[in-house]
Amino acid sequence: MVLGITTLATLEEVTAAYRALAQQFHPDRHVDSPEPVRRQAERRMREVNQAFLTLKKGAWLAPAADSPIPSTVAPDPEAARAARQRAYRAARQHTAQARAAHASRVQAKQSVPAGHARPTTKDPSVGRIVFGLGQAMYSNELTCRGCTSVQQLPAGWQDRLRDTGFSCSVCGRTILSW
């Protein structure tokens, strides 16, 4: 039940279920997540991969109608149709969620022009990053240590520093946090 499919699932349904779960639990999607969430996602991804490999090899899948392997259980056409519908709905829902997530990432990037530091919520795991604070106090600019781009800090950034960090609009690296 790792993939959430029935024993009557076809290879296409198994693949659709695997892709939906792989998109959800892939480690690249959880890079900025807290450590416990990251570990949980990695564990679930390992389970999903193992289940998919097992099912892809043919263990547990219902044989096709023209298969030389005799079926021990007569396939229920209604259950097979329902399983296909669930897999199709899951794949469509996953596609819609992926598109929405991509659109929000694009909108976030476009909301702050390149060269302007992007305000971010505080990340307790980052700690204090105050390199170039003198430069920031003097000119309201910081040089990113990752991509060496000069980032303009927004007006009133000193007052917001207690609850807001700032990241580079080019590479996304945190450039100022207290």
| Residue-wise pLDDT tens digits, 135-166 | 788 888 888 887 888 888 888 888 877 777 88
Does 138 or 10 have the greater pLDDT score?
A: 138
| Residue-wise pLDDT tens digits, 33-65 | 788 888 888 888 888 888 777 776 665 445 555
Q: Name the residue with tokens 């980052």.
A: 126
In angstroms, the CA 139 to CA 132 distance is: 11
Q: What is the predicted pLDDT for the residue at 69?
A: 44
Residue 31 lies in a domain: yes
Residue 2 lies in a domain: no
Same domain, 74 and 131: no
By the 8 A CB rule, do 176 and 169 touch? no
Domain total in the chain: 2
Does 19 or 127 have the greater pLDDT score?
A: 19
| Residue-wise pLDDT tens digits, 80-124 | 788 888 888 888 888 888 888 777 766 666 666 667 776 777 666
* Residue 30 lies in domain: 11-111
Same domain, 133 and 91: no
Reading the block at residue 68, the tokens are 């030389």
Residue 85 lies in a domain: yes
Residue 6 lies in a domain: no
| Residue-wise pLDDT tens digits, 14-23 | 788 888 888 8
Residue 1 lies in a domain: no
Same domain, 73 and 18: yes
- Three-state DSSP at 156 gives coil
Same domain, 104 and 133: no
Q: What is the predicted pLDDT for the residue at 113?
A: 66
| Mean pLDDT computed over 73-84 | 72
Same domain, 82 and 154: no
Q: Is the pLDDT of residue 70 over 50?
A: no
Same domain, 162 and 85: no
Residue 3 lies in a domain: no
Q: Which residues contact 56 (CB under 8 A, 6 or more apart)?
A: 11, 14, 15
In angstroms, the CA 58 to CA 67 distance is: 12
Residue 5 lies in a domain: no
Residue 63 lies in a domain: yes
Q: What is the predicted pLDDT for the residue at 111?
A: 63
